[in-house]
Amino acid sequence: AQKITQTQPGMFVQEKEAVTLDCTYDTSDQSYGLFWYKQPSSGEMIFLIYQGSYDEQNATEGRYSLNFQKARKSANLVISASQLGDSAMYFCAMREQYSGNTPLVFGKGTRLSVIA
C-alpha cells in the first residue's frame, strides 16, 4: 500500500521569498511517480510538477522544483519567489508507474498563505 504524509497543515511565507512544502511517502513499488497539485479556493486541482522514481535529476517547472531524496523517501516542493497568487492548498500525491489507471494516493495537504 502507498502512503503520503504532509506534516505541515499550514505555512506562511513572505511575498518574493522561497518556501518548502514537505512530503514523505511510503511504498513497496519499485517504479512510482510523485506529483504535486495546487488547489486554490476556486476548487480546481492544478497539476504542478512530476518526479519519477528513476529520474536522476530533480524536476523543475518554472518557479516550482521538487527536491527528491529517494533514500529518505521525501519529495518536497520548493516554490521560489512566492507570489500572492500562490496562496492555496497544496497536495502531494503518488501512484505506481506504467499501470494505466491506478488511482492517485493523496496526502492531507498543506495550506500556504503568502503575505504581502
Partner 1 sequence: DTEVTQTPKHLVMGMTNKKSLKCEQHMGHRAMYWYKQKAKKPPELMFVYSYEKLSINESVPSRFSPECPNSSLLNLHLHALQPEDSALYLCASSPGDRARQETQYFGPGTRLLVL
Near partner 1 by CB under 8 A: residue from 5, 8, 20, 97:
97
**Binding segment (CB under 8 A) for partner 1, from list 11-19, 22-30, 32-40, 75-83:** 32-40
Near partner 1 by CB under 8 A: residue from 25, 35, 36, 68:
35
Near partner 1 by CB under 8 A: residue from 42, 71, 85, 116:
42
Under the criterion CB under 8 A, does residue 44 sit at the interface with partner 1?
Answer: yes
Near partner 1 by CB under 8 A: residue from 2, 20, 58, 95:
95
What is the DSSP annotation of the chain?
--EEE---SEEEEETTS-EEE--EEE-S-SSEEEEEEEE-TT---EEEEEEETT-SSPPEETTEEEEEETTTTEEEEEE-S--GGG-EEEEEEEEETT-SSPPPEE---EEEEEE-
SS3 of 39, please?
A: strand
Q: Does residue 58 contact residue 65 with C-beta atoms inside 8 Å?
A: yes
Q: Which is nearer to partner 1, 53 or 76 (CB)?
A: 53
Q: Which is nearer to partner 1, 19 or 109 (CB)?
A: 109
Q: Which residues contribute to the site for partner 1 (CB under 8 A)?
A: 33, 35, 37, 42-47, 50, 52, 91, 95, 97-104, 106-109
